[in-house]
Structure 1
Amino acid sequence: MSSHHFVKEQQEPALLILDTKGFSYETIAPLLEWSPTVLVAQEEVLTVISWGLKIDLILAQMDFQKENYHLLEEQYPVKFLGVDNDEFLENGLQYLIATKHSAVNIIGFNHQQVFSLEEKLAFLDLVIWDAPMRYFPVKNGVFKKWFSSATLQLHAPEGTFIEVQEDSESQIHRITYATFVEVEEGTTILKSDKIFWVGEFVMEV
């Protein structure tokens, strides 16, 4: 199956780059395998260009567009997507929903604010990259995955209960600020009656 098929059907997760602080090209490169749609906030454009990435849309305020009109030619066929009031994330997500994308990796978003995104989960699968971790939502109450031994962050509103099952053992965690759990190699099952987010380390700290 070709990458063209994935792009045409908008099945490959888009890449929305808001902030590159703490990230390198090597971190981002695996997300580019199937030539996803790449959206970049105006402040990160030069960094992303220096990485050699092809940008599809620059999320930009009017002043930036006027001052950097040359980018439309130099980075053809890049386009500007107008942004008002620093709403880079909101405008980017609205564009992806309108163009029938099904998923997006968001680079450089504060995981403490993910709860504000949960209304978008009906339209998009979201993965949040907040160096050095990435966070994904568990929407249906149960998550099951094989891990090599790992440290996970369970992220949900304070007071949320999440059950962690490993082999035949089960523990209930009441979420407080920065709740981390250690899981051994094997299959881990996480359960809650509410939406929660799981954070994994994706780079050394």
Structure 2
Amino acid sequence: MSSHHIIREDQEPALIVASYEALDEEYIGQLLEWSPTVIANDDTVDFFLAADIKVDIVFSRKEITYPQEQIKNIPIKKGIIPDALDYLIHHNHKAVNIVCDAPDEALKAYCAAINIVVLSHGMRYVYIRHRYEKWKEAGARISVPENHLKSLVGLKHTSPNGFITEQDGFMYLEFNSDEYVCIGEEI
């Protein structure tokens, strides 16, 4: 029996790469395994073209013809991330991985319409409402805004907004608001 799966178009999370230096190439390779919709900008498209990786869309400040014929060139209006999210939501994508230098507070405005994961410099950020639970190994670093915490289990406070898992097992977070909360995990 084959381990390959049939993937419907837009079923896998799209990939927005605003900074290819924000994530190790090995992790970027893992994100590309299922052939997601790949979105780049003027700064990151050359990285993909040099590695012969298919790019679907480039949000650009200039009109360029790329060696890959299928690339859509779309003018930047607000910035690569908000423009790409608007595009993905308009085209009914359900999830996106974003590789960038840091998560932006403005991403919360998109969370109701699309599932967002930000990958940046050894951290994976997710946007969650109400409650979060996950199995983690002992000593894993977690970042969560303390002002949104109602309760927590399995974590020890280490610094402002910083926690570490006390032991192997599930950790639980509950929030005191209906807002989306950005949680960072070491990868």
TM-score under structure 2 length normalisation: 0.86
**Letter matched to residue 78 of structure 1:** I
Q: Could you list the per-position Cα deviations for residues 103-145 of structure 1 after superposition, in whole angstroms to 9, with x for gaps in the alignment?
A: 100001413x2x2211111100000111121100112x11121
Of 144, 149, 152, the match for 1:161: 149
- Tell me whether 1:107 sits opposite 2:99 in the alignment: yes
Task: Name the SS of the counterpart of 1:53 in structure 2.
Answer: coil
1:154·1:179 contact (CA, 8 Å) conserved in 2? yes
**Residue number among 158, 175, 181 corresponding to 2:164 in the alignment:** 181
When residues 57 and 82 of structure 1 are mapped into structure 2, their CA distance, relative to the original with a 3 A threshold, is same
Q: 2 CA distance for matches of 1:30 and 1:100? A: 23
2:36 counterpart SS class:
coil
| SS in structure 2 at match of 1:43 | coil
Unpaired segments ≥5 residues, structure 2: none
Q: Say whether the 8 Å CA contact 1:152–1:198 is kept in structure 2.
A: no
Cα distance between partner residues in 1 of 2:6 and 2:96: 20
Structure 1 residues 183 and 136: alpha-carbon distance in aligned structure 2, compared to 1, 3 A threshold: farther
Given candidates 164, 180, 193, the residue that maps to 2:176 is: 193
Counterpart check, 1:125 vs 2:135: no
User: How much does 1:177 deviate?
Assistant: 4.4
Alignment match, 1:94? 86
Match 1:135 to one of 125, 128, 131: 125
Residue 160 of structure 1 deviates from its aligned partner by 2.8
Paired residue total: 181
Match of 1:149 in 2: 138
1:84 maps to which residue?
77
Alignment partners' CA distance in 2, 1:32 and 1:91? 21
Shift of 1:176: 7.3
In terms of fraction of residues, the more helix-rich structure is: 1
1:37-94 alpha-carbon deviations (Å, 9 max, x no partner): 0000111111122233210001101xx32xx32x0xx112111011135x11111110
1:13 Cα deviation (Å)?
0.5
Question: Considering only aligned residues, what root-mean-square deviation do their CA atoms show, in Å?
Answer: 2.2
Q: Is the 8 A contact 1:159 1:176 kept in 2?
A: no
How far apart are 1:31 and its partner, in Å?
1.2
CA change 1:150–1:95 in 2 (3 A) is farther
Q: CA deviation at 1:162?
A: 4.5
- The alignment status of 1:25 with 2:25, answered yes or no, reads yes
Q: Secondary structure at the match of 2:21?
A: coil
Q: Is the 8 A contact 1:144 1:188 kept in 2?
A: yes
Cα shift readout 1:13-56 (whole Å, capped 9, x = no counterpart): 10000011242321111112221100001111111222332100
% identical equivalent positions: 24
- The whole-number CA distance in structure 2 between the counterparts of 1:107 and 1:18 is 6
Contact 1:147 1:183 in 2 (8 A): no
Runs of 4+ in 1 over 3 A off after TM superposition: 175-178
Whether 1:75 and 2:68 are equivalent positions in the alignment is yes
Correspondence for 2:36: 36
